[in-house]
Amino acid sequence: MEKRIINYLEQQCIKSPLNERQDGGHYFDEPLVGFASVNDPLFADYKQIIGPFHRSPTEWLNLSGSTNAHKSGTVISWILPISKEVRLSNRSQQKIPSKMWAHTRNFGEQFNASLRRELVDLLQSAGHAAIAPQLSSHWQEISIDGVGPSSCWSERHAAYAAGLGTFSLNDGLITKRGIAHRCGSIVTDLVLPPSPRQHRSHTHNCPFCREKRCGACIARCPVGALSVDGHDKIKCRAYTYVMLNDQLGSDYGVDITGCGLCQTKVPCETAIPKI
């Protein structure tokens, strides 16, 4: 079943019309896929790190509609690396995202949502409980005073638990394919072997977090939401999801533009930096 899941995600990235841009290219390249046990102690730690509102995988499984109490299972996580053409279009931008980047954030994420739904359907048809937290009616965003937006399920933290990368100064996840990507995940009672976490720390792939080198993403932020002290989520969100959407949404033909400047034209754009 593990190989079947990986093959399904890979084939969808190649064949699905939802992953096709208007110019004929793809929004995303071949995915990275990882697995974490629903009983991994990290998920209990997340209730302290993120907040008590962050639901554990077993809590999500018990919201899946299944009548069974679930005590084992797997978090299936994937990374969708953003294609070269999209990344190149955003590298030259200094204040606003490129139209191609905004389309990837908007329409590419619709493709990502379809992966979540169809993988849940695939597992349920095989007799397993499964749920996509990001698409669930139980998913909610929480605003924390002085910190900014958070949610009851973090797909980046799921990806870290599944061994797919580590966090960065800008709160993104640096994978072996870089930081320019989208994350997806579902939770199922199907038990699969967990992927190893081989990183020395939760920020090991970021040279700045590791040893105060680089910091290129700081200069890329057009509103000063990044500094040596980290990521100001409140300032970032006000620009990315309010100001940019108001200014560009209609012209670009999207509901959400994204930004992505700190994910492009930086050493971690496509790989783990060697600096």
Q: Output DSSP code: residue 223.
A: T
**For residue 114, what are its two tokens?**
């379809």
Reported as a single tens digit per residue, the pLDDT across 131-160 is 999 999 999 998 877 667 889 999 999 999
Domain count, the chain: 1
For range 11-23, the mean pLDDT: 97
Residue 269 lies in a domain: no
Q: Determine the pLDDT at residue 148.
A: 77
Q: What separation in angstroms does the CA of 261 have from each of 18, 112, 117, 209?
A: 24, 21, 29, 19
For range 85-112, the mean pLDDT: 98
Q: Report helix, strand or coil for 23.
A: coil
Reported as a single tens digit per residue, the pLDDT across 153-196 is 999 999 999 999 999 999 999 999 999 999 999 999 999 999 99
Q: Determine the pLDDT at residue 70.
A: 73
Residue 170 lies in a domain: yes
**For residue 84, what are its two tokens?**
């070269």
CB 206 within 8 A of CB 266: no
Q: What are the start-end ranges of the E strands in 82-208?
A: 130-131, 141-144, 148-151, 166-167, 173-174, 181-188
**Where in the sequence is the domain holding 245, given as residue range(s)?**
2-263
Reported as a single tens digit per residue, the pLDDT across 18-61 is 999 999 999 999 999 999 999 999 999 999 999 999 999 999 99
Name the one residue in this structure whose structure tokens are 């967990």: 194
How sure is the predictor about 274, in pLDDT bands with cuts at 50, 70 and 90? confident
Sequence-separated (6 or more) residues with CB below 8 Å from residue 209: 167, 168, 169, 203
Q: Determine the pLDDT at residue 66.
A: 72
Q: Output DSSP code: residue 19.
A: G
Q: What are the start-end ranges of the E strands in 3-86?
A: 32-37, 74-81
Reported as a single tens digit per residue, the pLDDT across 53-88 is 999 999 999 998 776 767 899 999 999 999 999 999
Q: Output DSSP code: residue 32.
A: E
Cα angle vertex 176, ends 92, 228, to 5°? Answer: 60
The H or E element spanning position 230 is strand 230-231
Residue 239 lies in a domain: yes
Sequence-separated (6 or more) residues with CB below 8 Å from residue 5: 33, 76, 119, 122, 192
Computed over every residue of the chain, the mean pLDDT equals 95
For range 228-236, the mean pLDDT: 94
Q: Determine the pLDDT at residue 67.
A: 67
Q: Which residues pair with 183 in a beta bridge?
A: 79
Cα torsion 264, 240, 172, 159: sign = negative
Q: What separation in angstroms does the CA of 63 have from each of 2, 37, 49, 118?
A: 24, 18, 23, 18
Residue 272 lies in a domain: no
Closest CA to 182 of 272, 273, 113: 113
Residue 82 lies in a domain: yes
The H or E element spanning position 219 is helix 216-220
Residue 175 lies in a domain: yes
